[in-house]
Amino acid sequence: MRQIPAIVDGELKLFESHAVLIYIACAFPRVASHWYPDDIYKRAKIHSVLDWHHSFLRRGAAGLVFNTLLAPLNGIRSYPQLLSEKDRDRILSPYVKVVKWVEDTKSAISPHFEEVHGVLFESQKRIREQMATKSRKNQARSKM
């Protein structure tokens, strides 16, 4: 499929993030049972949130990642409006539950969040710098 995430475990090749998560939770006894409990009601809730993720959360996130990262890195025309960390915090701060969810997720999977996102954060930093340079050049040109 040429997409991530995908895993290979023995003879099994698997793609689709939710299928991968459920497989890992079931196949590896060291994964704590609260990640995918046997209780059928709890599983139903987990499936519900996973489906919500595809239908809602991903839709917004995919556009953001494309416009602010993938398009600029691949020379595709886009309209990146990268927020500064300060603006991001200001916009998110009223949404206390969202902020807590982000922090809880980071801490639950620490140090892997930083490890996995390191490349993205580096690229964003470079794109921000390029945009700032471009903007300074445009301002200088408009004063001529």
Ligand X SMILES: N[C@@H](CCC(=O)N[C@@H](CS)C(=O)NCC(=O)O)C(=O)O
Which residues sit at the interface with ligand X, rule CB under 6 A? 2-5, 16-17
SS3 41: helix
Please, which residues have CB within 8 angstroms of residue 70's CB and are 6 or more apart in sequence?
A: 76
Alpha-carbon torsion (138, 61, 108, 19), positive or negative: negative
Q: Which is nearer to ligand X, 5 or 118 (CB)?
A: 5
Question: Of 17 and 123, which has the nearer Cβ to ligand X?
Answer: 17
**How far apart are CB 15 and ligand X at their closest, in Å?**
6
Burial of 65 (0-12, 13-18, 19+ CB in 10 A): middle
At 74, the amino acid letter reads N
Distance CA 19, CA 41 (A): 19
Residue number, 53 or 106, with CB nearest to ligand X: 53
> Taking the complex as a whole, how short is the minimal distance between the CB of residue 98 and ligand X, in angstroms?
20
* Whether the Cβ atoms of residue 124 and residue 65 lie closer than 8 Å to each other: no
Nearer to ligand X, 61 or 91 (CB): 61
Shortest separation between residue 17's beta carbon and ligand X, angstroms: 3
